[in-house]
Amino acid sequence: MQQFDVLIIGSGLAGLTIALRTAAHKKVCLVSKRSINDSASDWAQGGIAAVLNDEDSIENHVQDTLIAGGGLCDEAVTTMVAEHAKEAVEWLIEQGVGFTRDHDNTSFHLTREGGHSHRRIIHAADTTGHAVQMTLSEKVKQHPNITVMENHIAVDLITARKLNVNHNLETKLQPDDYNTDANACLGAYVLDKSTGKVITIAAQNTILATGGAGKVYLYTTNPDISTGDGIAMAWRAGCRVANMEFIQFHPTCLFHPHAKSFLISEAVRGEGGLLKLADGTRFMFEHDERLELAPRDVVARAIDFEMKKRGLDCVYLDISDKPLSFIQSHFPNIYQRCLSFGIDISKTPIPVVPAAHYTCGGVMTDDKGRTDIKNLYVIGESACTGLHGANRLASNSLLECLVFGQTAAEDILSQPTKPSPQLPYWDESRVTDADEEVLITHTWDELRRFMWNYVGIVRTDKRLSRALHRIHMLRDEVNEFYSNFKISNDLIELRNLLQVAELIVESAISRVESRGLHYSKDHPNTESEPIPTVLEPLNYYSLLDR
């Protein structure tokens, strides 16, 4: 068993932020499923939303966020995040992140994205996430108080309640710290993918920063690691989840047979890119008065409508009226990547389709990232903080990672250091090596296809019912496999994806209206009273068998 003060599962911006903000006073372990730089944060193109000039205001940022969120944002949380945005950006600048400057080099260049009333997106060309990720990960790797475990995947959380159910342990824990009623998190089981062995990590505080669940869908802009691990683990441990029906589909993912998951940034539309049909006809006039600068859910539904109505494989995003120098300076990565596929965006439109992009719901937390379980925090895309509501405003995601990374770190640092309990080793005495892996690969493929077809941009009651039926059948098969064979990375991810898929569908079924990112053909109207969708785990003993 290994012991740390702080265990962080996930190496994106949320995980890196809290690691650096706690490491001066705590012994930290950072677990990364692949390399430390393999994260959704690294893929982020657009930037970070923050009020950085006098033409804008905190009130404007808050109102833009509330409008995009369809009535389900927590206004107090939204205000807190907007108020801390400038401070968060300044912290990144202090760490050495090189944001793009204006042509006169006297100030930072701010771009505008859909749903924003002002230019407030600070960015590093069109690879903001990569610039931030590389800067912070180097600092994390060099910090003497941070142990980085790459190529390790968390299996499950270890909680006091689960130990009291499954084990008769003699521990010297204070009853008010680790009792069954409080259900504290004590650490996690983690699989070392290089050896196939599961290690036990004990920690006073555990942070889930594992990102979203885009890989539950067939088409996504997310990296392969986005399998909803943190949400599934927290749910199994007994945490509530909220608003899981709100899956953001990015309107513009590059449509090309060899361009896996490549996003065309929102900023392309923010800088004048126009959506067109193959014959050059614009179509956003028929869908929203904000045209190409409407929020993502509006634009994604408009594209989906046009494609289905006309039987199209894609639509086109055209920024070819801009000078080549402008395109190369503002979108160097997009320009080069499209060029590698034979698409010169300075001369021809970009073929695009919507794709699953961001999980707006997640594990319910307060404004410090704390969950229903003591000593367990969830930050970043895995969390439902109240910031995003029914639809995330562009470039608020990296901002959320930074602000909640700071507030969670401050809460952790306010606590006195306590010894970790002795935890049991992972028991695989009653399982064997899997005789074949076809169940995993087949189930993975089936799940992602029917989630895309039945639980996509536009939904119906019948489709959702069919999806839930299939999920329950597949879940039972995978749980039987999980109980009888040694675990692997693919099995862990599939188990988590099935759990998250069930939460998405159950949430969607319970919302009998259309709001934000959830659009139902059977319930097209929006209710006057916005109510969050909150799912509570079943009683704990049944959860142990899920």
Residues annotated catalytic, as ranges? 296
C-alpha closest to that of 303 among 276, 333, 322, 278: 276
- Directed axis angle between helix 489-510 and helix 461-484, to 10°? 150
Tokens representing residue 321 in the block: 């009226």
CA angle 542-543-545, nearest 5°? 75
How far apart, in whole angstroms, are the C-alpha atoms of residue 235 and residue 257?
36
- Chain centroid offset of residue 40 CA: 7
Using CA of residue 58, residue 64, residue 68, residue 71, what is the dihedral sign?
A: positive
How far apart, in whole angstroms, are the C-alpha atoms of residue 113 and residue 67?
14
Q: What stretches of 305-448 adopt beta strand conformation (E)? A: 315-318, 350-359, 362-364, 376-378, 383-384
Q: Output DSSP code: residue 387.
A: S
188 neighbors 155 (Cβ within 8 angstroms) = yes
How far apart, in whole angstroms, are the C-alpha atoms of residue 431 and residue 61?
53
112 neighbors 118 (Cβ within 8 angstroms) = yes
Collapsed DSSP state (helix, strand, coil) of residue 218: coil
Classify domain 250-355 at the CATH class level.
alpha beta
Burial of 478 (0-12, 13-18, 19+ CB in 10 A): buried
Domain boundaries, the chain: 250-355, 438-543
The strand pairing partners of 201, in sequence order, are 2, 188
Q: Which CATH number fits domain 438-543: 1.10.3720.10, 1.10.3450.40, 1.20.58.100, 3.40.50.10860?
A: 1.20.58.100
Q: pLDDT of the chain along its 546 residues, tens only?
A: 899 999 999 999 999 999 999 999 999 999 999 999 988 888 787 899 999 999 999 999 999 999 999 999 999 999 999 999 999 999 999 999 999 998 877 789 998 887 899 999 999 988 899 999 999 999 999 999 999 999 999 999 999 988 875 544 444 444 444 444 568 999 999 999 999 999 999 999 999 999 999 999 988 989 899 999 999 999 999 999 999 999 999 889 999 988 877 889 888 998 999 999 999 999 999 999 999 988 888 898 899 889 888 989 899 999 999 999 999 999 999 999 999 999 999 999 999 999 999 999 999 999 999 999 999 999 999 999 999 999 999 899 999 999 999 999 999 999 998 888 889 999 888 888 876 778 898 999 999 999 988 999 999 999 999 999 999 999 999 999 998 889 999 999 999 999 999 999 999 999 999 999 999 999 999 999 999 999 998 654 344 443
| pTM (predicted TM-score) | 0.89
Q: Which amino acid is at 317?
A: L
Give the strands of the sheet with 534-535, arranged side by side: 383-384, 362-364, 241-242, 534-535
How far apart, in whole angstroms, are the C-alpha atoms of residue 242 and residue 223?
23
What are the counts of helices (DSSP H) followed by strands (DSSP E) for the chain? 16, 20
Classify 272 in phi/psi space as left (phi over 0), alpha (psi -120 to 50) or beta: left
